[in-house]
Each structure stands twice: as structure tokens, then as C-alpha cells.
């Protein structure tokens, strides 16, 4: 049975749920998710003080102390004081998903890429829809910045936290201003 430490925190884009293994952050999820969106999160009522939830071989345990470094860096990001996260990640997915998520990590703060550009970056130039699905399955929102991927025509589309959250994140990073100025 794997133990994941977890906590919730408030942010400029609403409540967030974080979970980490011994290797690093496993999940950062928005409280409000689109219908059908995957979640690692256990039922919140099962995380009351003293209760532990077992889910698919994983046991969750509330631990705001251990999760504090992750929360602190997110607070710094939302305050405009952090452009890169320094904590370790424990990404879990298929080889294709992992390639897509690593390509997302290479997009600099304040910049955007199209789904087509991301498909080329992972060596599958015609797989822009598959890249979109990998982004949809991204378990670590914000930190693995799928919000930085936009449509080829420059419009915002497809974000698990909703388009308004995507817009807020891109505005925070100055990406919308740069794109409009270009």
C-alpha cells in the first residue's frame, strides 16, 4: 500500500488539492473539475482528522506540515514571486503522456505554445489531438503548465480548471499581453 500525503489550499484560482509521494508531487488538482475529468483525490469526507482513505492501493493521509513546501511555492507563484517550481515531481503516466508532460515543463513562464507545436516537440507532428488528451490527463496542474498550450489560432481552449482559470494563469504570467503584442 502506497502512502500519499495530501492537503488542500486556497489560491487565486480557487481551492486546490495536492498529494505527494516520497519521490515528489503526484497531483495538483482544481477543486472544480470538468465532468469526466480524472482525479486521484479521495472523497473529502474520508479525510477528516484521523480517517484515512484507501483507493486503488493508495492510502491518503492529511499532512499540511509535510506539504508546506509545495504550498509555499504555489503561494509565491500566485504572488508573482516565482516563475519556476523547485520541488520534485513524481509523474505517472504512459510513455507518450510523460513525453508530453516533459515538453510542457520546457515551456518558459510567460510563453505559450500551440497543440501542433507540442506535437512536433514530442516527435509526433500529426498527434495534436493526442497531445490535447495527454494535457487533459495531466495530474499536476499549474506546475506542469498545460495552461500554456493554446489553439493554433491563438484562442484559449481545453483546460481542466476551466477557461477562466486558464486565462487568469496566463494573465498572471503575462502571456496574454505578450501574445496580443506580437
pLDDT, averaged per 10 consecutive residues of the chain (182 residues), comes to: 94 95 96 61 50 66 95 98 97 96 97 96 94 94 97 90 94 76 41
Q: Which CATH architecture has domain 95-181?
A: Orthogonal Bundle (1.10)
How is the chain split into domains, by residue range?
2-78, 95-181
Rounded to whole angstroms, the Cα distance separating 71 from 61 reads: 16
> Which residue in the list 6, 100, 146, 157 is annotated as catalytic?
146
Span 93-133, pLDDT tens digits? 999 999 999 999 999 999 999 999 999 999 999 999 999 99
Identify the three-state secondary structure at position 105. Answer: helix
Kindly report the backbone phi and psi dihedral angles of residue 28, in degrees, each rounded to the nearest multiple of 5, phi listed first: -140, 110
CA dihedral 60, 41, 67, 135 (to 10 degrees): 140
pLDDT of residue 49: 46
Q: What does pTM read for this prediction? A: 0.87
Rounded to whole angstroms, the Cα distance separating 16 from 8 reads: 6
157 catalytic per annotation: no
CB 15 within 8 A of CB 31: yes
Domains 2-78 and 95-181 share a fold: no
Assigned CATH topology for domain 2-78: Double Stranded RNA Binding Domain (3.30.160)
Amino acid at each position: 500500500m502506497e502512502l500519499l500525503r495530501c492537503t488542500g489550499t486556497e489560491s487565486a484560482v480557487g481551492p486546490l488539492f495536492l498529494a505527494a509521494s516520497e519521490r515528489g508531487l503526484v497531483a495538483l488538482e482544481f477543486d472544480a473539475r470538468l465532468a469526466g475529468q480524472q482525479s486521484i483525490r479521495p472523497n473529502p469526507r474520508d479525510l477528516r482528522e484521523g480517517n484515512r482513505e484507501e483507493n486503488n492501493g493508495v492510502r491518503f493521509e492529511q499532512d499540511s506540515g509535510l506539504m508546506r513546501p509545495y504550498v509555499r511555492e504555489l503561494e509565491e507563484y500566485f504572488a508573482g514571486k516565482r516563475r519556476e517550481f523547485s520541488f520534485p515531481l513524481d509523474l505517472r503516466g504512459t510513455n507518450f503522456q510523460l513525453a508530453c508532460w516533459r515538453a510542457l515543463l520546457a515551456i518558459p513562464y510567460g510563453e505559450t505554445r500551440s497543440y501542433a507545436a507540442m506535437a512536433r516537440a514530442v516527435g509526433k507532428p500529426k498527434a495534436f489531438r493526442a497531445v490535447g488528451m495527454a494535457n487533459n490527463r495531466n495530474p499536476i496542474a499549474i506546475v506542469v503548465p498545460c495552461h500554456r498550450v493554446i489553439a493554433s489560432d491563438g484562442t484559449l481552449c481545453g483546460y481542466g480548471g476551466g477557461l477562466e482559470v486558464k486565462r487568469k494563469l496566463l494573465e498572471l504570467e503575462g502571456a496574454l499581453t505578450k501574445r496580443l503584442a506580437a
